[in-house]
Amino acid sequence: MSDQSTMSDLEYSRQLQEKFELYLLALIFTLLGLAVQTAKFGINQLADILELLGWVFLLISGLAGLSRLEWLPVAYKTNSHLVGLKNEHTELMAVAEQGIVEIAVQDQNEPADIQAIIDDRTQAIQKVENRVKKLEKSILRKYCIHKWLFVLGLTFLIVARGSSPVMNIFNNGVTPRSCDPAKAMVSPATEVKG
């Protein structure tokens, strides 16, 4: 019962992670599309540069996320192959410990030396382990690029879009509104001169 509960929690966790990754990827491309469609250039050179950098960061983030999603199944498949090789190696070692020196091999008419097969599996395990490590490193690097360039792109867009209103506030100054209720109620068109 405990194993079943653990597996369902693990499966639920995996599903949530997949949904989050797809949501984040869709969010990045949606924000990029909206930013490109609603851009207004020429107001402030710094804002224009930040806007363009935001686009570039979001684009690279989205492409890194797509590449990561493309290579995740390859990493899982390679890792599964590694587990299979290790299981086969363990079984061959157990058979060799029983004193058996030759075993039947599929697609061969004559039995093969068990030690040669064990050595072959050991080399294959080493190669596949190296491949898995490279894939994991690449996927982790792509995740970091995906995440941090999304944050930078979003930040640059916020600063680019918010810089003009903030500068207008500081350049024009904030004028306090009238506290006199009588003046506040009278519109300029109906103001009585006297």
| Residue the block writes with tokens 């949606």 | 30
Mean per-residue pLDDT for 69-83?
Answer: 95
Distance CA(68)–CA(25), nearest Å, equals 11
- Express the helix, strand and coil content of the chain in percent, nearest 5 each: 80, 0, 20
pLDDT digits (tens, 9 = 90+) for 152-180: 999 999 999 998 888 888 888 665 555 55
Q: State the pLDDT at residue 104.
A: 81
User: Could you tell me the pLDDT band of residue 194, with boundaries at 50, 70 and 90?
Assistant: very low
**Who wins on pLDDT, 174 or 93?**
93
Share of the chain above pLDDT 90, in %: 60
Mean pLDDT of the residues in the chain: 87
Sign of CA dihedral 60, 133, 121, 93: negative
Q: How much is the pLDDT for 122?
A: 95
Domain ranges (residues) in the chain: 10-166
Six-digit token string for 18? 């997949």
pLDDT at 177: 57
Q: What is the enclosing helix (H) or strand (E) of 121?
A: helix 114-172
- Per-residue model confidence as pLDDT tens digits over 32-68: 999 999 998 887 899 999 999 999 999 999 999 999 9
Q: Check whether 95 has a pLDDT greater than 80.
A: yes
Range name among 91-100, 113-122, 176-185 with the lowest pLDDT average: 176-185
Report the percentage of the chain scoring pLDDT > 70. Answer: 85
> What is the reported pLDDT for 183?
53
Beta strands 102-103 and 112-113 are antiparallel
Which residues contact residue 161 at a Cβ distance below 8 angstroms, ignoring those fewer than 6 apart? 47, 51
Q: How would you write 21-62 as a 3-class SS string?
A: HHHHHHHHHHHHHHHHHCCCCCCCHHHHHHHHHHHHHHHHHH
- Of the candidates 41, 59, 35, the residue with the CA atom closest to the CA atom of residue 158: 35
